[in-house]
Amino acid sequence: MNRFARYLPSPGGAASAVLGFLILLAVWWGTSAIFHTRAVILPSPPAVWRALTEMAAAGALGVDVRTSLVELFWGFLVGTTLGLATGMALARSRAAAAFLEPIVETFRFILPFSMVPLLVVWFGTSILGKIFVVAYACYFVVAINTAAAIADTDPLILKAARMLGYSGMRLLLRVVLPAALPRILTGLQVAIAYAWVSVIAAEYIGAQAGLGYMITNAQTGLETDKVIAGMVVIGAVGLVLSQAVALLRRLAIPYRSSAGW
Amino acid sequence: MSGRPEKGSLIGYRLAAILFVLGGWLLLSWIFYSPRLELIPTPWRVATRLVELAHTELLSDILASLGEALGGWVLGSILGIAIGVLIGRITPVRLLLRPVIDFLRFISPLAWVPLAILWFGIGYWSKASIIVLISLFTVVVNTAQGVSSIDGELVKAGKSLHLSFRQRLEVALMSAMPDILVGLRYALGAAWGGVVIAELVAGDVGIGAMESFGGQSFDVAQIMVGMLTLAVLGYGANWGFMRAQQALFPWIVGNREA
């Protein structure tokens, strides 16, 4: 058995996930073929494929994917920008840290998903509420990781840089941030996953388009084939997003690779 | 964040932070004041709503959410530890199951909510099953990681001492325990987000359902009571977990902050 293990894709990666999909597909196909499960409980893989291609051909799927991706983009942009700024302020200025820390430490316990009904009252079905949830979900993990990354910078590097005449903004941009980059990118990797989940969850209520809206809508109509098709699309987009951030990581810091499990 | 001395001189900034949040809240509730629709209720309005709800439905909603979160967490964690040990120690299981979990992890447990409603109907299991998934994926990965990185010397020592299966399992579990506990605690934290989303969609009881009803009647104070209740529950669960960990496994140090 260990001989085969050598040929398997490394754990945690995209290839392993694709292999897992194939294994699961076989089990799913077998179950629905042997037990003749009712379509409302477990439709067969071909039925789900038909639902997927029909939605894609009608253009509805494209609209949903685009809506979700636009919400993701703005929410992630706002959340990570504010998170990076907060993290730097927390780590670099004692006064800012004393001011921001109680706020961050209190608000990070207020769950982003618990605000969804509030945001529906405030912003209705518009994109603003979704951007808010996504940004809020990303913000804390980026802020905390950035602050920890900068605070853990080797003091010897800082001393050397100061001795060489670096200070202020130049020290931050040319020395501190590059040294903290690996851990900051770890924060971003977690944040993109949080952001994608939040998009879906925020679309469950008070939305008019998007993948989360699509699968709850299909559930209300007992269209299980569409629900599963939507879940597969959600998984595929999630896979592409995490691969994109992992690629960014490899390009930015080729000297450090992330480990599997 | 920064463990530097001279804390006393910074007390002013901390006070300023509290005043900033409270002042900002008051200011916004005055700016957006409208006699017909309370978009941002004042803090004391939220406090009175909290007292009102505490006399009626709040306790039963808290118990419902707590039951879903803890029930799903316990079941998911037990399954997660069992599967994690199998993946970590038995090669055929690892070859089959690890890719499956790598795939399923990309479909967030929260995306299962509509399917869970179709499978279980609106009730306890449509919500608890989501928490089972959240806990399962997290705990499996951490357990497998911990179990597969057991010190080889310990395994050899166990063999030479002719330990029974149960004793070897105990050695494996205990040396993987720091990793398992990190997974358990992370899952407990993530469970609350899962509970509230599942209750918002499949809303009959629970804090999410309470928020959802508040939203339908434009009762923002009720939604805010729900948000604060969930924050307190999440904080309390984390605190309780840390206390239990210190009592049960005092030899584990250094994984306090996530």
Q: What is the pLDDT of residue A120?
A: 93
Considering only the beta carbons, identify the residue of A197, A228, A230 that sits closest to B110. A197
**pLDDT tier at B58 (50, 70, 90 boundaries)?**
very high
A133 touches A117 (CB < 8 A): no
**Which pLDDT score is estimated for B66?**
95
- pLDDT value for B1: 43
Q: Is the pLDDT score of B257 beyond 50?
A: no
CB A94 to CB B10 under 8 A?
yes
Q: Using CA atoms, how far apart are residues B155 and B153, in angstroms rounded to an integer?
A: 5
- Other CB atoms closer than 10 Å to residue B48's CB: what's the count? 13
Cross-chain residue pair A201–B112, CB shorter than 8 Å:
no
Neighbours of B233 (CB within 10 A): 19
Segment A70-86 shows an average pLDDT of 96
Q: A228 contacts in B (CB within 8 Å)?
A: 115
Stated pTM of the model: 0.88
List CB contacts (< 8 A) between A147 and chain B: 1
Query: What does pLDDT average to over chain B?
Result: 88
- Is pLDDT of B170 > 50? yes
Cα A44 from Cα A31, distance rounded (Å): 9
How high is the pLDDT of residue A79?
97
Residues in chain B, overall count: 258
Kindly list the distances between the CA atom of residue A100 and the CA atoms of A103, A229, B128, in Å, as whole numbers in the listed order.
Answer: 5, 43, 36
Contact status of A228 with chain B (Cβ, < 8 Å): yes
Tell me which chain B residue has its CA closest to the CA of residue A143.
Answer: B1
Euclidean distance between CA atoms B195 and B110, whole angstroms: 9
Cβ–Cβ contact A176 with B under 8 A: no
What residues of chain B lie within 8 A of the CB of A17, using their CB? Answer: 99, 102-103, 105-106
CA angle (A35 as vertex; A32, A40 as ends), nearest 5: 55
pLDDT over 50 (residue B3): no
Q: Which two tokens stand for residue A249?
A: 């990581």
Whether A31 contacts A37, CB under 8 Å: yes
* Tens of pLDDT, residues A125-179: 899 999 999 999 999 999 999 999 998 888 898 889 989 988 888 888 888 888 8
B192 → closest Cβ in A91, A111, A235? A111
Q: Is 50 exceeded by the pLDDT of residue B79?
A: yes
Q: Is the pLDDT of residue B135 over 80?
A: yes
Interchain pair B227, A17: CB under 8 A? no
- Separation in Å, CA of A79 to nearest CA in chain B: 18
Is some CB atom of chain B closer than 8 A to the CB atom of A3? no
Question: Is residue A117 classed as helix, strand or coil in its secondary structure?
Answer: helix
The two three-digit tokens of residue A30, written as one number = 């077998």
DSSP classification of residue B9: G
Q: Between chains, do A238 and B107 touch, taking CB under 8 Å as contact?
A: yes
The answer to whether the CB atoms of A115 and B208 lie below 8 A apart is no
Does A65 have pLDDT greater than 60? yes
Position B140 confidence tier, pLDDT thresholds 50, 70, 90: very high
pLDDT at B10 over 90: no
pLDDT at A69 over 70: yes
Q: Which of B106, B115, B226 sits opposite A228 (nearest CB)?
A: B115
For residues B202-220, give the mean pLDDT. Answer: 91
Q: Do B227 and A115 touch (CB under 8 A)?
A: yes
Residues B2, A94: C-beta atoms closer than 8 Å: yes
Put simply, whether A261 touches B (Cβ < 8 Å) is: yes
With an 8 Å Cβ cutoff, is A59 touching chain B? Answer: no
Contact residues on chain A for B112, CB-CB shorter than 8 A? 231
Average pLDDT, chain A: 89
User: Average of pLDDT values for B56-63?
Assistant: 94
Say yes or no: A178 contacts chain B, CB-CB below 8 A: no
pLDDT in tens, A165-224: 888 888 888 888 888 888 899 899 899 999 999 999 999 988 999 999 999 999 999 999
DSSP strands (E only) in A72-171: none
Specify the pLDDT at position B258: 40
More confident site: B149 or A89 = A89
C-alpha distances in Å from residue A225, one per residue of A26, A49, A108, A230, B178: 17, 8, 37, 9, 41
Q: How would you label A116-126 residue by residue, b for 16+ Cβ within 10 Å and e otherwise?
A: bbbbbbbeeee
C-beta atoms of B111 and A234 within 8 A: yes
Whether residue B5 has pLDDT greater than 60: no
- Predicted pLDDT of residue B256: 45
Q: Residue B117 and residue A101: Cβ atoms within 8 Å? A: no
Determine whether the interchain pair B215/A151 forms a contact, defined as Cβ–Cβ distance below 8 Å.
Answer: no
Percentage with pLDDT > 70 across chain B? 95
pLDDT band at B6, cuts 50/70/90? low
- Provide, as residue numbers in chain A, all residues whose Cβ is less than 8 Å from the Cβ of B95: 1, 4-5, 8
Do the Cβ atoms of B103 and A235 come within 8 Å? yes
Q: Choose, out of A38, A88, A114, the residue to mutate when testing the contact with B (most B CBs < 10 Å).
A: A114
pLDDT grade for B124, boundaries at 50, 70 and 90:
very high
Q: What is the pLDDT confidence band of residue A43, given thresholds at 50, 70 and 90?
A: very high
Do the Cβ atoms of B87 and B144 come closer than 8 Å? Answer: yes
Q: Return d(Cα B160, Cα B168) in angstroms, integer.
A: 12
Q: Token pair of A7, please?
A: 């040929």
